[in-house]
Structures are given as C-alpha cells and as structure tokens.
Amino acid sequence: MNSKKTNNDKSPSFEGIKGGLIVEVKNLVKKFPVGAGFFTALNDINLEFSEGEFTGLVGPSGSGKTTLLNIIGSLDVPTSGEVVVIGKSIGNLSPKQAAKLRKEELGFIFQNYNLLPVYTVFENVEFPLLLLNLSAGERKKRVMETLEWLGLTDKVNSRPAQLSGGECQRVAIARAMVKRPVLVLADEPTANLDSANSHNILKMMLQLNEELKTSFIFATHDEKVIAYLKRIIRLQDGKVVEDKTIQATPNP
Ligand SMILES: Nc1ncnc2c1ncn2[C@@H]1O[C@H](COP(=O)(O)OP(=O)(O)OP(=O)(O)O)[C@@H](O)[C@H]1O
Ligand SMILES: [Mg+2]
C-alpha cells in the first residue's frame, strides 16, 4: 500500500460532524418482540465514537454486539434513545435516507463475505460505486487502486468460487473501502479465516485506518482481532460493562 497514492483522492468528508464525533449513542434501548412480550437486547447504551476509531464491540454470544452494529449501520432502528451517525439521527431517517447514508458514508464487512457469486472480483468491488455518480473511468481507477492495496490485482477477473477464504474476505474489504467511507462496520470479519489470514486482513485494515483515517468498528469475540484494537467496548446482557482505550500502538 502506498499512502502517496491514496491521499489525493476523496478522503472521508467530515462535514456536519461536530468535534470529530462520527457516532453518538444516547440512552439506546433495543427490544425485540418475543412471544407475547419483549426481549431487551440493548439496555441503555451511551457511547461516543470519534474519527479514526479502530474499536471492537466484544462480549459473549448474545450480548448485543451485532444488534448495536446494525443500528449504527442504519440497518435497524432503536426502540428508544437516539443514535446519531455522521450527523444524522437514525430513528428519524426514512428508508430512502437510511439507504443514502449507507451507500455514501458506510462500508460493511460480514462474516460470510456476501460476495456476488456470478460477478468477477472487479465487478464485486465496483458494485457500490455504481450507486454513486462516477464515470466508468473513475470507477475503474478506484477499483484497481483498492485491489492493489489489498494485493488482489492478479485476481481481478476471478469469481468468488475460485478464491480462498482469505482472498474472499480481502475482496469484501476492498468492496467496503472502494468508496472511501467515513466508517466501516465489520461483524466477525475473521470468523471463517485461519490464523495467518486473520492477521493478514487485520494488518491491512489497520493500515487503511492509519493511512486513510477510515474508522472501523468491529463486533467480535476473536482474540486475534482484540489484539489489534485501539479501543475495546465490552458488552454483557445488552449493557456496556467496560470501555477502555489501548494506549500502546497495536503490535500483536
Ligand atoms: N430479530 C430478533 N428477534 C428476537 N431476538 C433477537 C433478534 N435479534 C437478536 N435477538 C436477540 O438479542 C440478543 C443479542 O443478539 P446479537 O445478535 O446482537 O448478539 P451478539 O452479541 O452479536 O452474539 P454473537 O456473538 O453470537 O454473534 C440475543 O439474545 C438474540 O437472541
Ligand atoms: Mg453477532
């Protein structure tokens, strides 16, 4: 990865973001209907995330990590409380406004990669750019640059079935990064990877965080991911039980 190459283009726009805050979570409660009653998955969460985060939501299975990540990603709405993402209050957004926020500002990485099987690597990475108003030439430049960062230029015409798990996840990272989002949300991104590939993609994400200032929020219980984090937020039974900043530079 070459930082000189990446600095000229669109860097994340922080217009409308007060004091570098990209996410504010205020008195967030999320209840799911279960039978005749409700299950409280998130119980009065208060958090702030600033630009440049490399933060993990950690905690046991069922503690609410994915639920919180989905609400921050405007894929779900709070039952009560407020979540402000890049200056926009999630609970007040129409489906169309939520889709606009996701396509313009957010990148998503999932455990199962979620690549489109009939498309090539190039087409998978180009896909989010088709939703933006860019020329074919600009799209190609961005896709190829992103594939180069992630060491995938020799796989540009391959399809997902021809790739290893680690390569698929690198394509998924490229797809999340290609539009230079302000914030990337990654739910258990290493769950299907072996140790070497996990370290490989974590190093790449950390480098993207440091060179492009893209913020990352992970949901994870993988110790390999935890070793790279700059901030650890521990959830238990839908509550924040610990929020600690790691002082030393991550160096697992
Ligand atoms: N749509 C839903 N309907 C009912 N309950 C739900 C729903 N989604 C999540 N839950 C419940 O909310 C709780 C939190 O779920 P969540 O998926 O956020 O946990 P998690 O911390 O991501 O766990 P894991 O580590 O297993 O991925 C769980 O008890 C889950 O069963
Ligand atoms: Mg989860």
What pLDDT shows up at residue 250? Answer: 61
166 Cβ contact partners less than 8 Å away, ≥ 6 residues apart: 193, 194, 196, 197, 200, 201
- Which CATH number is 147's domain given? 3.40.50.300
Nearest CA to ligand 1 atom 4: 32
What pLDDT shows up at residue 247? Answer: 83
Query: Is the dihedral angle over the CA atoms 103, 209, 13, 19 positive or is it negative?
Result: positive
pLDDT per residue over 77-121, tens digit each? 999 999 999 999 998 899 999 999 999 999 999 888 899 999 999
Nearest CA to ligand 1 atom 3: 32
Please work out whether the CB of residue 56 comes within 6 Å of at least one atom of ligand 1: no
Q: For residue 166, how far is its CA from the centre of ligand 1 (angstroms)?
A: 26
pLDDT per residue over 151-167, tens digit each? 999 999 999 999 999 99
Answer left, alpha or beta for residue 249, where phi above 0 means left and psi between -120 and 50 means alpha.
beta
Nearest CA to ligand 1 atom 7: 32
Q: Is 7 within the bounds of a domain?
A: yes
Q: What is the mean pLDDT of residues 17-45?
A: 92
Statement: residue 226 has pLDDT above 70? yes
Q: Is 112 within the bounds of a domain?
A: yes
Please work out whether the CB of residue 65 comes within 6 Å of at least one atom of ligand 1: yes
Q: Is 85 within the bounds of a domain?
A: no
Please work out whether the CB of residue 38 comes within 6 Å of at least one atom of ligand 1: no
Smallest-distance ligand from the CA of 187: 2
Statement: residue 149 has pLDDT above 90? no
Q: For residue 238, how far is its CA from the centre of ligand 1 (angstroms)?
A: 9
Nearest CA to ligand 1 atom 16: 64
Beta-bridge partners for 184: 107, 216
The total number of structural domains in the chain stands at 1
Q: In which domain, by residue range, is 103 found?
A: 3-18+52-75+96-245
Q: What does DSSP assign to residue 91? A: G
Q: Is 40 within the bounds of a domain?
A: no
Q: Is 81 within the bounds of a domain?
A: no
pLDDT, the chain, mean: 90
